[in-house]
Amino acid sequence: MNLEQHTMIMGIINLTPDSFSGDGLLKSMDPESAAVAQAKIFIAAGAEILDVGGESTRPGAMQVDQEEELRRVVPAIKAMREAGIGAIISVDTYKSRVAQAALEAGANWINDVWGLRADPELAKVAANWNVPIILMHNRSNPANSEIREHLGGRYKEMVYQDLIEDIKNDLLESISMAKAGGVKDENIILDPGLGFGKTVEQNLILLNRLNEICDLGYPVLLGPSRKSFIGYTLNLPPDDRLAGTAAAVILGVVRGAKIIRVHDVPFMVRVARMTDAIINSCAH
């Protein structure tokens, strides 16, 4: 897994009816065909990874049971492979059984928004398949969430003793759990969890100090796309956060992120490539 050459773009394939960003494909008459069509658009635009998810993780979202999540993601992954899509497919799930079925259907990576804290058995699945697993930092608690009609959900009054050190320590615990389950060091990717259990100000601080997360020595994935910290900072709804997302992507790449997870793939591919070109020009 060579992530040193350029920033990789991960396109979001959202198979939910209640996405905060309004891009859920489950509302389509034919979700599998819609997923294939979106995947082809993303790949043509330059995405190298497709992240397929069947459960919304926005603040206040309803949990989806295992059987429903399987019904949403597995047929879509199969359809994408049958359509000849050869990009990396990541399954966005924290459930070991869903991950197992997704890998059998053709997925290559696991993206766990709970960093193995929701289902430690997920580590064994990743180890048995010898696939990369993304471990995200997450202290989300519905009791600390607030939803505004115009701006969506955000977290308030999230207490950290030392924001960056606490995030690092939590991620190190997830890494230990992964290794205890047999995951190889080279298959671990970290996600600091922008928007998950962090206030608007805490998200801004985390983004600005992302290099300290990168210093842990693992590739870092960043997911700023259309997040509420952008909306609350700029007072804009999810469908008007392109510029704010671009700013976050640029700084994320400058601070060391190797993978960027986004909705607006064509635009953000260009943003990342331009940022890479500027950074790499300083290396010669």
Catalytic residue among 117, 154, 241, 261: 261
**pTM for the full predicted model:** 0.92
Phi/psi of residue 120, nearest 5 degrees? -60, -20
Residue 86 one-letter amino acid? G
pLDDT tens for 20-37 read: 444 555 555 688 999 999
Catalytic residue among 95, 226, 227, 258: 227
> Structural domain boundaries of the chain?
8-281
Q: Answer yes or no: is pLDDT of 149 > 70.
A: no
Instruction: Residue 145: name the closest of 58, 247, 79, 232 by CA.
Output: 58
Residue 33 tokens read as: 């065909």
78 catalytic per annotation: no
pLDDT tens for 69-102 read: 999 999 999 999 999 999 999 999 999 999 999 9
Residue 235 one-letter amino acid? N
Q: Answer yes or no: is pLDDT of 1 > 70.
A: no
Q: Measure the CA–CA gap between 106 and 77, rounded to whole angstroms.
A: 6
139 catalytic per annotation: no
The pLDDT of residue 63 is 78
pLDDT tens for 246-273 read: 999 999 999 999 999 999 999 999 999 9
pLDDT tens for 191-244 read: 999 999 999 999 999 999 999 999 999 999 999 999 999 999 999 999 999 999
Q: Report residue 65's pLDDT band, with 50, 70 and 90 as the boundaries.
A: confident
Tell me what percent of the residues of the chain surpass a pLDDT of 70. Answer: 86
Query: Taking residues 109-135, what's their average pLDDT?
Result: 97
User: Which numeric CATH code is attached to 8-281?
Assistant: 3.20.20.20
